[in-house]
Structure 1
Amino acid sequence: MQEAFLHYLWQFKKFQLLDLKTTQGQHITVINSGQHNRLSGPDFFAAQLKIDNQLWAGNVEIHIKSSDWYVHHHEKDSAYQNVILHVVWEHDADVFRKDNTALATLELKHYIDKKLLDNYYHLFSKKQTWINCENEFGDTPEFLLQNWLERLYVERLERKSVVIIDLLEQSKNNWEAVLFIMLAKNFGLNINGDAFFSMAQSLDFSVVRKHQSKPNELEALFLGQSGLLNTKSSEPYELHLIELYHYLKHKYQLNNSHVPRPEFFKLRPPNFPTIRLSQLAILYTKNDTLFSRILEIKKLEHFYELFQIGCSEFWKTHFTFETTSKTSHKVLTKNFINLLIINTVVPLKFTYNKKQGIDEISELLELMTKIPAENNTITKKFYRLKTLPNSANTSQALLQLKTQYCNPNKCLQCAVGSRLIIK
């Protein structure tokens, strides 16, 4: 038995409401179960109850056992003095407030339908499955699931907006600077995302602005701050970048001591950090006001045009400084651009609209439906369980579902899990 299940039962009144009685035999009428509190303090605020003929307004506290009141030392905490009902699964001790008055207690296990309880135990007893509802997920009604996935995607955007808002505060509301940091992170993908993010944060965006017209200087900045320039090199282009970087480092008093060196291991050559940082430099060389352009663009094909960039001349014949390769322009692929739109463009536009009081979520949802679903271990497994729309908003919603609900066993807060319990 989990306390979260008791919260669920109380919040949604999934128990027998007629002839409820306290452990002392008083009749209980639940008028309002209250507002669920997920922070410190009583579990439900502003509940309204009638106990016998007395109307009460106050808080409700929920525990597995009555004695947990004392285990958590609530009798010493003034925040719990306004508790009007103690809801427990098992009543194993009488509870008294700080002023020694008895606390009305409801032992909930006597009022729960056996089928609901069996469904609960069945859902949470599957320890060897990928998700608790693995065998039932495919039978989820389409209407319920599609509405839930849409909510999950918006929820994921809200989570991403927290990072963006924090960066905005650090940059004094410089949207162009925040875009640069977020783009850098996503140019690094999963393996080098954190390293690129750290590199971008180590540069004041005004420095990037001043050198946007000179791609070699931007490359020197990005590669130098990332620790990818070898001072013992004999390669002429690398020596040129080292000279540029030393000049820029001294001029702007740059510090890269806390920037992790990007990885090459386990990466395909097109994703090597040298190539991705060169492409990032070219993108900024070709676009003075990138954020403004992103705000203006509505159609997917125009985003593809915006991000249709390659690398500098040297990298057309190299993946690393040490070895040459077959000539290739190394332009960003559609799949890579899709990831930039999913992880940078849409979250930024969502956050900008939110800050400006603009309600254009439907436009962003429409854009995401035109981008194919991401192909990763999580999405693959969900698509094996059920036929779902092949769109990026669906795959993003599935990532939110797995990481924020399935992994931490929050089935009671999930539309799919709730349905399985009450069916």
Structure 2
Amino acid sequence: MQEDFLHYLWKYKKFDTSKLRTVLGESIQLLQVGEHNLNSGPDFFNAQLKIEDQLWAGNVEIHIKSSDWYVHHHEIDPAYDNVILHVVWEHDIDIFRKDNSVIPTLILQDQVAKTALHGYHQLFSKSQKWINCEQDFASVDDFVLQNWLERLFFERLERKSNAIQELLSTSKNDWEAVLFKLLAKNFGLKVNADAFFSLANAIDFKIIRKIQNKEQELEALLFGQSGLLETNVEDEYYKTLQKDYQFLKQKFSLIQEHVVPLQFFRLRPPNFPTIRLSQLAQVYVKNNNFFSKIIEANTKQEFYDMFKVTTSSYWNTHYTFQKSSKFLVKSTSNNFIDLLIINTIIPIKFSYSKISSQINTEDLIALINELDPEHNTVIKKFESLKPISKSALQTQGLIQLKNEYCNYKKCLQCAIGNTILNRF
């Protein structure tokens, strides 16, 4: 038995309310269950009920056992002085107020229908499952699913926004610098995300501003700071970049501290960090006042125009400095740009709109609904249960659902779990 389940039972009145009595035999008439409190303090605020002929208004506290009141030290916490009813699954001790009067206690165990308990035990059974509700997921109404996934998409945005606010505070409120750091991280994809992010943190964005129209110097800065120019390679372009980087290093007093080493292992050549760094450089060569352009743009095509770049010409015949390859122009793909929109553009637009008090959720929903659904193991598994992903909005919601609810078995805080339990 989980305390969350008792909260669910109380909140939705999933028990027989017609003949409620306290452990002392007093009749209880439930008028209002109160407001569910998910923070510290009593579980439900501003409940209203009648005990015998006395009308009470106050808070309700819920526990598995009555003695949990003392386990949690509520007896010394003034926040619990206004508790008018103690709701428990099992009563093992009386609870007293400061004036030594007994707090009325309701035992919920005998009031709950066996079908509701069966539904709860079925949902939380210990058998090996990918998610608790996988047997019932397909039967959940599409309207419930789509509304819940949209809410989860914004939950995920809020989490990303909090991280952006932290970046903003360490970047002296320079939105352009924050944008560069986020783009760098996401250009690194999963394998090199930390390395690219550490590289961006090792470069003062003022330097980017000064040299972003100089393709070769910008590439030298990124390759040099990432540690890719520290060996001896018999290659003319490599030696040119080395020379440029030494000049930049001396001019701007560059330091390579805390830069995570780049990884090539198990990457497809188009995703080698050399290729992605060159493409990142080209994005900044192409776009001045980049942050303003991103805030003003709203459609997928506008962002495709911004991020559709190739590498510098050297990389048309190379994937690494050590070896030449067959000629191939290496452009950013639409799928790659979609990931940038999902993981960088939409979060930064959302964060900026919150600060500027100009949140336009309709524009963000319209933008992410333009993007195709993502493809990964989590999405594939959900789709095997029920095909519901129409766009990246649903897939972002599903990722949030799995990571923040399913993995922690928060079914009682989930619209899907509540829908399934409400059947019983």
TM-score range, shorter chain: over 0.9
Equivalence for 2:157: 157
The 1:123–1:276 alpha-carbon spacing in structure 2 relative to 1, beyond 3 Å, is same
TM-score (norm 2): 0.94
Q: Secondary structure at the match of 2:89?
A: strand
Residue correspondences, number: 423
The 1:274–1:86 alpha-carbon spacing in structure 2 relative to 1, beyond 3 Å, is same
The 1:195–1:37 alpha-carbon spacing in structure 2 relative to 1, beyond 3 Å, is farther
Q: Tell me if structure 1 keeps the 8 A contact 2:316–2:327.
A: yes
Equivalence for 1:280: 280
Q: Tell me if structure 2 keeps the 8 A contact 1:126–1:132.
A: no
| TM superposition outliers: structure 1 runs of 4+ over 4 Å | none
Paired AA for residue 80 in structure 2:
Y
Q: CA–CA distance in 1 between the matches of 2:147 and 2:310?
A: 39
Q: CA–CA distance in 2 between the matches of 1:195 and 1:350?
A: 25
Q: CA–CA distance in 2 between the matches of 1:115 and 1:236?
A: 76
Equivalence for 1:86: 86
Equivalence for 1:238: 238
Equivalence for 1:16: 16
The 1:31–1:227 alpha-carbon spacing in structure 2 relative to 1, beyond 3 Å, is farther
Equivalence for 2:351: 351
Q: Secondary structure at the match of 2:57?
A: strand
* Larger displacement relative to structure 2 (69-78 or 277-286): 69-78
Q: Tell me if structure 1 keeps the 8 A contact 2:60–2:86.
A: yes
Equivalence for 2:209: 209
Please tell me whether residue 323 in structure 1 is matched to residue 343 in structure 2: no
Q: Secondary structure at the match of 2:397?
A: helix
How many angstroms does 1:134 deviate by?
A: 0.9
* Larger displacement relative to structure 2 (409-418 or 248-257): 248-257
Paired AA for residue 119 in structure 1:
G
Equivalence for 2:39: 39
- After superposition, what is the alpha-carbon deviation per residue over 1:344-367, rounded to whole angstroms, capped at 9, x for unaligned? 111222222232222422222222
Q: CA–CA distance in 2 between the matches of 1:18 and 1:252?
A: 77
Equivalence for 2:218: 218
The 1:248–1:48 alpha-carbon spacing in structure 2 relative to 1, beyond 3 Å, is farther
How many angstroms does 1:25 deviate by?
A: 1.6
Q: Tell me if structure 1 keeps the 8 A contact 2:33–2:48.
A: yes
Paired AA for residue 419 in structure 1:
T
Paired AA for residue 49 in structure 2:
L
Please tell me whether residue 360 in structure 1 is matched to residue 351 in structure 2: no
How many angstroms does 1:396 deviate by?
A: 0.8
Q: Secondary structure at the match of 2:380?
A: helix
Equivalence for 1:190: 190
Q: CA–CA distance in 2 between the matches of 1:257 and 1:359?
A: 38
The 1:278–1:61 alpha-carbon spacing in structure 2 relative to 1, beyond 3 Å, is same
Q: Secondary structure at the match of 1:47?
A: strand
Q: Tell me if structure 1 keeps the 8 A contact 2:202–2:257.
A: no
Q: Tell me if structure 2 keeps the 8 A contact 1:44–1:60.
A: yes
Equivalence for 1:167: 167
Paired AA for residue 315 in structure 1:
W
The 1:10–1:247 alpha-carbon spacing in structure 2 relative to 1, beyond 3 Å, is farther
How many angstroms does 1:126 deviate by?
A: 4.9
Q: Tell me if structure 1 keeps the 8 A contact 2:61–2:85.
A: yes
The 1:379–1:139 alpha-carbon spacing in structure 2 relative to 1, beyond 3 Å, is same
Q: Tell me if structure 2 keeps the 8 A contact 1:192–1:262.
A: yes
TM-score (norm 1): 0.94
Q: Secondary structure at the match of 2:390?
A: coil
Q: Secondary structure at the match of 2:29?
A: strand
The 1:285–1:29 alpha-carbon spacing in structure 2 relative to 1, beyond 3 Å, is same
Paired AA for residue 60 in structure 2:
V
Q: CA–CA distance in 2 between the matches of 1:36 and 1:272?
A: 50
Paired AA for residue 167 in structure 2:
L
Paired AA for residue 138 in structure 2:
G
Q: CA–CA distance in 2 between the matches of 1:159 and 1:92?
A: 41
Any residues of structure 2 matched to 1:400-419 within 5 Å, and which? Answer: 400-419=400-419
How many angstroms does 1:99 deviate by?
A: 4.4
Taking only the aligned residue pairs, the percentage that are identical comes to 56
* Larger displacement relative to structure 2 (127-136 or 31-40): 31-40
Paired AA for residue 378 in structure 2:
I
Equivalence for 1:3: 3
- After superposition, what is the alpha-carbon deviation per residue over 1:335-391, rounded to whole angstroms, capped at 9, x for unaligned? 101111111111222222232222422222222222110010001111111122431
* Larger displacement relative to structure 2 (265-274 or 385-394): 385-394
Q: CA–CA distance in 2 between the matches of 1:251 and 1:57?
A: 71
Any residues of structure 2 matched to 1:249-268 within 5 Å, and which? Answer: 249-268=249-268
Runs of 5+ consecutive residues of structure 2 not aligned to the other structure: none
Equivalence for 1:297: 297
Equivalence for 1:382: 382
Q: CA–CA distance in 2 between the matches of 1:136 and 1:346?
A: 32
Q: CA–CA distance in 1 between the matches of 2:215 and 2:359?
A: 37
How many angstroms does 1:333 deviate by?
A: 0.7
The 1:8–1:225 alpha-carbon spacing in structure 2 relative to 1, beyond 3 Å, is farther
Q: Tell me if structure 2 keeps the 8 A contact 1:60–1:87.
A: yes
Please tell me whether residue 334 in structure 1 is matched to residue 334 in structure 2: yes
